[in-house]
Structure formats: structure tokens, C-alpha cells
Amino acid sequence: QLQASGGGLVQPGGSLRLSCAASGYALNYYAIGWFRQAPGKEREGVSCISSGLGTYYSDSVKDRFTISRDNAKNTVYLQMNNLKPEDTAVYYCAATWMIKRGPGVLPPSRVDEYDNWGQGTEVTVSS
């Protein structure tokens, strides 16, 4: 199971750190992705990290968000800085087994490439 946490209400320009903790299996050989879904919109990829620490960021969050993983804690993090109202959404983490692994291998980034989803954590950016 994946457990996402860390959401909340923050003012524009503020920061939050989301955590995605796994239980029941080790994340070492999995890619982990963060996705978000705003009301009335489709779920979209935000940031993903491969087992080899390759990363993906959507254009809308590049240079503001940072994804990282701590395999010893079986947890992946999403540091979100300079938050904007358009970042408001429910954020989900998801995992997928990586067949091709190695340093710098890029993670999958599409919603349909992930098959193990956690519950969401809500992020609201508002003054």
C-alpha cells in the first residue's frame, strides 16, 4: 500500500512537502510518480522518479517542485515551493515496477503507466 500525506492549505508563494510511504513491499525497484487532479479536470502527471533516480517534471512545476526518494525509509517526497493557486488539487502517488533500471533511466510519466495507487492528499493554495 501507498500512503500519501503532507497536504494542506497554504498561501501563494508558500511551500509544502508531500510524502509517499509504502508498506508491504520495498520501493527500490519501482518508479514512483506524483499525479494531481483538480476539480473537473483529468488526472495529470506532476513529477516522477525512477529506481535509478532519473526524474520527470511537468512543465508547469519545473523549477518549483523537487522529487526525491529515500529507499531506507521506503518513502518518496515531493517538495513544492512557490506554490500557485493553479497547483490546487488532490495529489496522488503511484508506483510501477521498472523493467529497465539503471542510473539515470527515466521514469514513466503517464497515468496509465502506473498500476499501484495510494489515496490522495489535498493541496489548497489560496490567500
Query: What is the per-residue pLDDT across 1-12, written as a single tens digit (0 to 9) for each?
Result: 999 999 999 999
How high is the pLDDT of residue 94? 97
Radius of gyration of the chain (CA): 14
Q: How confident is the model at residue 116 (pLDDT cuts 50, 70, 90)?
A: very high
96 falls in which pLDDT band (50, 70, 90)? very high
Let me know if 49 is exposed, middle or buried by CB neighbors in 10 A (0-12, 13-18, 19+): buried
Contact 124, 88 (CB under 8 A): yes
- Write down the pLDDT at residue 98: 87
Span 24-31, average pLDDT = 90
Give the model's confidence band at 102: pLDDT under 50 very low, under 70 low, under 90 confident, else very high: confident
Predicted local distance difference test score (pLDDT) of residue 100: 78
Report whether 33 contacts 107 (CB < 8 A): yes
